[in-house]
Chain A
Amino acid sequence: QVQLQQWGAGLLKSSETLSLTCAVYGGSFSGYYWSWIRQPPGKGLEWIGEINHSGSTNYNPSLKSRVTISLDTSKNQFSLKLSSVTAADAGIYYCAGISILEWSWGQGTLVTVSS
């Protein structure tokens, strides 16, 4: 089973770019969708987007104009960039590795946005 460890800046100002990275341990990149999911404070889960091992991406249309998910196979890492953040982007951001037989989660990163 793959294990995921994520990191990135948790305190941002409005209009800045959120940048998070997730490292993959114990598995290969193929056969998985590498995803980002977020959870506003006290609310439910929202899928942000995903990338597969060949670099093909899908993004939530509600965020598509601001989101970039990328892959670095040499480092076994994938990353999220979300531009022009506002208070509405605050919450916990999770990376995830998704396959039919397995769904692994990162530990989550709390993102706070100040004006």
Chain B
Amino acid sequence: DVVMTQSPLSLPVTLGQPASISCRSSQSLVHSDGNTYLDWFQQRPGQSPRRLIYKVSNRDYGVPDRFSGSGSGTDFTLKISRVEAEDVGVYYCMQGTDWLRTFGQGTKVEIK
């Protein structure tokens, strides 16, 4: 199995300030087709998760541009340029390169 490791697991942030979450995979996520299937999800309290980013850096429809994804190989990052109150929740990375999809442990973002 591809193990996904996120850090930090808890991230207190000040409104309007940037935030960054790291995700590392136990093996390269570059698929044989040349794509890298690394996604980011947001789960607000009491809600179903929502995909924010697909294939490392592509924002899903309707996702604010303050969210951005970057990285390659085994190291990936989700950045929020200016945190807003509605961004509180748990963020997960997930790899879809291997047939067995695996998620990171989650990073809880809260307002200081």
Please give the residue numbers on chain A whose beta carbons come within 8 Å of chain B beta carbons, in ascending order: 1, 35, 44-47, 58, 60-61, 94, 100-103, 105-108
Contact = CB atoms under 8 A, between A and B. Distances in A.
Contact of A44 (B39, B50, B99, B104): B104
Interface residues of B, number: 21
Which of A44, A58, A61 has most B Cβ within 10 Å?
Answer: A44
Contact of A107 (B39, B48, B50, B90): B48
Given A44-B105, A45-B106, A100-B54, 19 more contacts: A1-B61, A44-B90, A44-B92, A44-B103, A45-B49, A45-B92, A45-B103, A47-B102, A58-B99, A61-B100, A94-B49, A101-B54, A101-B61, A102-B60, A102-B61, A103-B51, A103-B60, A105-B50, A107-B48
A45 B40 CA distance: 12
Contacts of A35: 101
Contacts of A60: 100
Contacts of A61: 100
Interface of B: 39, 41, 48-51, 54-55, 60-61, 90, 92, 94, 99-106
Contact of B103 (A46, A101, A108): A46
A47 B100 contact: yes
A108 B49 CA distance: 10
B105 A105 contact: no
